[in-house]
């Protein structure tokens, strides 16, 4: 790999901060950081781009998880089985990534995101009341299915995973947006760890890029999570709508470009 100029690294660090901020609140930071890496490092192999991105973004996600865990009460008895399910299925998704056509998924994911956006926008009180439904075998089974399904999706494809997790925690488990975001961060960590280990093993992490980006991702993550914890669920809901709209536009652009 050729040397990277300080100017390019500065641009990448700015986008890493922005990605960390967005991701810490509602997920979707990968839609900022990954394209930036692709644009500013066109000569770098795709596996190295993804591996570098994963390490940097995971750093921010991990720190955001700690921030939320200190302020938000989490039901670990409920979360741990979902974490295990998500982690296992993310590995399965990563193993199948080369044998399935991801372009087939894009229109389906686009439709689902549009439905999520419409439902959240018109349901004004959605996610304002924290009324957890995390007891009983039925809720546990739903948690395992959601963790497994979205874990597989994250390992196989990824964009929008955090937003889908937040929506699932709000709709199915009765959490408010702030608590849903905290829970989603933990699941995101679980789905990222296997991929990080894999990319480190294959040598597809460019540390001289990943480490500075990790620092700025963490800075953005701390700023975003603190703002979310201060402003509460109404702020997270508004941010959720903005980010989902951005993800929808990105998916629509990708689909039209492929037509």
pLDDT tens digits, one per residue of 139-197: 888 889 999 988 888 777 666 778 888 888 988 888 888 888 888 888 888 888 887 88
Give yes or no for residue 1 having a pLDDT over 70. Answer: no
In a domain, 129, yes or no: yes
Q: pLDDT tens digit string along 67-88?
A: 888 888 888 888 898 999 998 8
- What does the alpha-carbon distance between residue 254 and residue 159 come to, in Å, rounded to a whole number? 12
- What does the alpha-carbon distance between residue 187 and residue 79 come to, in Å, rounded to a whole number? 8
Number of domains in the chain: 1
- What does the alpha-carbon distance between residue 72 and residue 141 come to, in Å, rounded to a whole number? 24
In a domain, 164, yes or no: yes
pTM of the complete model? 0.78
In a domain, 211, yes or no: yes
Tokens describing residue 1: 């790999």
In a domain, 1, yes or no: no
Domain that holds residue 51: 6-258
Higher pLDDT, 119 or 183: 183
In a domain, 37, yes or no: yes
In a domain, 215, yes or no: yes
In a domain, 142, yes or no: yes
- Among 178, 164, 152, residue whose Cα is nearest residue 117: 164
């Amino acid at each position: 790999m050729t040397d990277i100029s300080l100017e390019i690294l500065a641009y990448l660090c700015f986008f890493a901060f922005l990605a960390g901020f967005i991701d810490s609140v509602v997920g979707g930071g990968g839609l900022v950081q990954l394209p930036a890496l692709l644009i500013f490092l066109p000569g770098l192999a795709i596996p190295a781009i993804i591996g570098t991105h994963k390490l940097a973004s995971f750093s921010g996600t991990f720190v955001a998880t700690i921030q939320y865990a200190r302020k938000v009460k989490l039901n670990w008895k409920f979360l741990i089985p979902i974490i295990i399910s998500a982690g296992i299925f993310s590995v399965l998704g990563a193993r199948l990534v080369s044998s399935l056509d991801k372009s087939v998924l894009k229109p389906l994911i686009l439709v689902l995101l549009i439905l999520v956006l419409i439902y959240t926008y018109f349901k004004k009180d959605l996610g304002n009341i924290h009324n957890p439904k995390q007891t009983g075998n039925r809720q546990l089974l739903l948690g395992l299915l959601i963790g497994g399904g979205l874990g597989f999706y994250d390992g196989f494809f990824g964009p929008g995973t955090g937003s889908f997790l937040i929506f699932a925690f709000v709709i199915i488990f009765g959490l408010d947006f702030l608590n849903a975001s905290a829970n989603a961060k933990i699941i995101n960590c679980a789905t990222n760890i296997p991929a990080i280990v894999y990319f480190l093993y294959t040598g597809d992490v460019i540390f001289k890029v990943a480490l500075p980006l990790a620092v700025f991702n963490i800075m953005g993550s701390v700023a975003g999570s603190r703002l979310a914890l201060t402003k509460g669920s109404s702020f997270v809901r508004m941010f959720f709508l903005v980010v989902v709209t951005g993800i929808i536009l990105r998916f629509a652009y990708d689909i039209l470009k492929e037509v």
